[in-house]
Amino acid sequence: MSVRRCATPADTFAAGHRLAGWLVAGDVVVLTGPLGAGKTVFSTGVASALGVRERVTSPTFTLVRPHRCANDQGIVTLYHADLYRTQRLDEVADLALGELVEESAVALVEWGERGDALWGPEHWRVRFSLAPDEARTLELAVPAGRAVDVAEWAA
């Protein structure tokens, strides 16, 4: 696990932007942490790097929001999910996020720990925590078999 400290929302956005460069179609990124920890700001950074043009907001009430992408990575759609309002694993399973990303998409899943039993070992995980000084600490877990320079993450 690699750790990155984000003192400002701009730092959190930049962390999302950095992660986006490592994503490939089929990836699921699970975002965990308390309310207000920066999951949506991070998601906007990922979306920006993937070429999403429209405004990205937390899909708390719609649960999943698709965004068209324009990039050189072969990622056509970013599915941004928020599982905060889900109560049971079958509700998460009904969203079929794993199936949505199979062809040419990736998924960012806020409150993704609510679907842990569905993701398997081949997913990204970013755990957000708040420091007493209002900074965020982001812990990145890379999927097994993926080679990334985690030193870039921590920078």
Q: Is 155 contained in some domain?
A: no
The mean pLDDT of 127-155, rounded to a whole number, is 86
Percent of the chain with pLDDT over 90: 50
What residue spans of the chain are helical by DSSP H? 9-20, 39-49, 89-94, 97-100, 116-119, 150-154
pLDDT reading at 37 higher than 70? yes
Whether 150 maps to a domain, the answer reads no
Q: How far apart, in whole angstroms, are the C-alpha atoms of residue 57 and residue 52?
A: 12
pLDDT, mean of residues 2-19: 93
Supply the pLDDT for residue 24: 92
- Annotate 87-127 with DSSP letters as a single string: -SHHHHHHT-HHHHTTTTEEEEEETGGGGHHHH-SS-EEEE
Q: Which 3 state secondary structure label does DSSP give 47?
A: helix
- Is a pLDDT exceeding 80 seen at residue 13? yes
pLDDT at 112 over 90: no
Please state whether 130 falls in left (phi above 0), alpha (psi between -120 and 50) or beta. Answer: beta
Number of domains in the chain: 1
Which residues 6+ apart lie within 8 Å of 110 measured at CB? 31, 39, 40, 43, 58, 80, 81, 82, 83, 84
Residue 151 in domain? no
Global confidence as pTM: 0.91
Is residue 51 assigned to a domain? yes
More confident residue, 13 or 151: 13
State both tokens at 20. Answer: 């986006």
Residue 154 within any structural domain of the chain:
no
Q: Rounded mean pLDDT of the chain?
A: 88
| Residue at 148 is within a domain | no
- pLDDT confidence bin for 126, thresholds 50/70/90: very high
In a domain, 79, yes or no: yes
Please report whether residue 149 resides in a domain: no
**CATH code assigned at 28:** 3.40.50.300
At 31, the pLDDT band (50, 70, 90 cuts) reads very high
Tell whether the model's pLDDT for residue 12 goes beyond 90.
yes
Instruction: Find the domain containing 14 and state its range.
Output: 2-143
Instruction: Express each pLDDT in 41-90 by its tens digit.
Output: 999 999 999 999 998 887 777 788 999 999 989 999 999 988 888 877 88
